[in-house]
Amino acid sequence: MIFAVWSRISRQMLVVLAVLAIALSSCSLDRFKAEATQVPQMVAAVGTDPATFNYALNQSSPNVFGYIYEGLITIDGMTGEIIPAQAESWEVSDDNLRITFTLREGLKWSDGEPLTADDVIFSFNDVYLNEEIPAPSRDVLRIGESGALPTVRKVGDRQIEFVSPEPFAPLLLYGGGAPILPAHKLREAVATKNSAGEPLFLSTWSTGTDPREIVGNGPYVMVSYSPAERVVMRRNPHYWQQDQQGNPKPYIERFVWQIIENTDTALLDFRSGGSDLIEISSATFQLLKKEEQRGNFSIYEGGPDTGTLFMCFNLNKASRNGQPLVDPIKSRWFNTLEFRQAVAHAINRPAMINNIFLGLGEPQHSPIPVQSPYYLSPEEGLKTYDYNFDQAKELLTSAGFQYSPNGELLDADGNRVRFTLLTNSGGRRIATIGAQIKQDLEKIGIQADFQPIDFNTLINRLGNTFEWDAYLGGFTGGLEPHGAATIWALDGGLHTFNQAPTAGQPSIDGQEFADWERQIAELYVRGAQILDEAGRREVYAQAQQLIQENLPFIYLVSSLDLAAIRNSVQGIEYSSLSGPLWNLPDLRVAED
């Protein structure tokens, strides 16, 4: 289960999996193939349907928004450098509290309407910063301990000024990187309320909307959506980019998201030539590597994935309606530091890398990816947990746990240590990882009942009822640590291990936050306040140490990012920062 954190801007802008669906009716497939022969196209794929066509409400990945929208700035997918997009330039004030962006001349929406500074003002003041709209992007724009939001105002026909109440290092990235939304299409939906007093915007541009009604400013515009089949996009004729000869970009006329949930089916279709790109697992790599030359494709390796994969215990001590969220006996186990450290030592990461990732992975020790300048390495002192079940047992017995004659772990009161480990159903790799963790913990006497469940059910337990023991999951990530502020803030929407209710949810009683938990939250606030890079590195180093010492998340393994791409697709620059299609406007498809 992967949560789409908005901050992973480079990955979220243009991440793609690819494949042609073959579970289609013959009539539909024949018509699609006939259309495909008329224009140059590239077929990419995802394993799931889009969740919404409303960017401001989106919390899922992958999604279409990196193709149909663009912000003032974007990210160079190879270097991580911030580069101009809809803005041609920006200036930062001497006191670092103001950033003034200048839009490019002649910008237009995909329907031909002018894109102006008023659209930027609308996007922020009416949507992203509007407390009536639950936009996930608002969380990463909160500044300092007060959680104040930046001020966004128009200062010229093409100039927009972002003003921060205090120094805020990520303002350029998160302010400039948010997609601009079309005021002429959405303003009325924001201003109009339904019978419950909510903006109609909350039900605007769902996946039931005709895709041709969705207006964007990115390289592509949607023209059709067939659930469980495909999303078809065509080149936006009003996109700003041109090459040196004045030719409009993107070069590829049609870009197709083809949807196949079954990974085996997706692989079969790629091997038969039905798709142009497929992101692959380590197991698939072994098979496809032998077929590169015959299949006329290449396998690209982008380095370790920037997201996290972890096991997490529910540390919430609160009650709701007089009932503890977590069984008090289990809660005592989970909130014992030695217990979490013992579990961390008991997980055999080398075996996981060798047997599940087939050597194409690395141990993971931090929520910050190794590519980030803020990453603290083990060589620099980051605490790690090597596989050592003897040490795990010593930690448990030192904390008052004991063993029965047949090796079962008991607590000091004689209770059998047994809990349920949840994860999202449907993923073969995550299921295999969960099975290994179950076996690893059996070696130190713990019974973990591994239970994959429906994604929506899992999300409801993690973020609403809070009734769960442990779960296996992950977060997307990026080079800028502040993107994870919603994970570490005490009231953050992804502070999963000790979640507080959000607006509209039933209240809970007796919630406690540990000192280390508060310190991490404070460090993430301070890290965004400091503008000196050396100072920021020091703050995030302290945060990483506290996280590893206290283990709210037990990090597991980083897989290597791998993709197989047809050699007919020219111009691929692949890295784990952004995936294979971050420079989609520059790609070409060679004629057969």
Evaluate if residue 311 carries a pLDDT over 70.
yes
What are the pLDDT digits (tens) for 473-526? 999 888 999 989 889 999 888 899 999 998 778 999 999 999 999 999 999 999
Average pLDDT over residues 223-243: 96
Pairing verdict, β 98-103 and 87-92: antiparallel
pLDDT at 37: 54
Domains parsed from the chain with CATH numbers: 2-68+204-303+560-589 (3.40.190.10), 73-188 (3.90.76.10), 308-559 (3.10.105.10)
What is the 3-state secondary structure of 100-135? EEEECCCCECCCCCECCHHHHHHHHHHHHCCCCCCC
d(CA 466, CA 469): 9
Evaluate if residue 79 carries a pLDDT over 70.
yes
* Average pLDDT value for the chain: 90
Structure tokens at 557: 């393994």
User: Which pTM does this prediction carry?
Assistant: 0.82
Evaluate if residue 5 carries a pLDDT over 50.
no
Exposed/middle/buried for 511, CB within 10 Å: 0-12, 13-18, 19+? middle
* Local structure of 384: helix, strand or coil: coil
What are the pLDDT digits (tens) for 357-382? 999 999 999 999 999 999 999 999 99
> Among 112-116, 135-139, 276-280, 465-469, which is the least confidently predicted range?
135-139
pLDDT at 229: 93
pLDDT at 105: 97
d(CA 430, CA 426): 9
d(CA 432, CA 472): 11
pLDDT at 203: 95
Evaluate if residue 458 carries a pLDDT over 50.
yes
Evaluate if residue 7 carries a pLDDT over 70.
no
d(CA 351, CA 344): 14
Kindly state the DSSP code that residue 479 receives in the 8-state scheme. S
309 bridge partner residues = 474
Cα–Cα distances in angstroms (integers) from residue 371 to residues 386, 460, 480, 523, in the given order: 22, 33, 10, 21
Evaluate if residue 256 carries a pLDDT over 80.
yes
What are the pLDDT digits (tens) for 521-556? 999 999 999 999 999 999 999 999 999 999 999 999
Q: Tell me if the bond preceding 506 is cis, omega within 30° of 0.
A: no
Average pLDDT over residues 568-572: 96
What are the pLDDT digits (tens) for 22-38? 233 334 444 545 555 56
Exposed/middle/buried for 150, CB within 10 Å: 0-12, 13-18, 19+? buried
Evaluate if residue 233 carries a pLDDT over 60.
yes
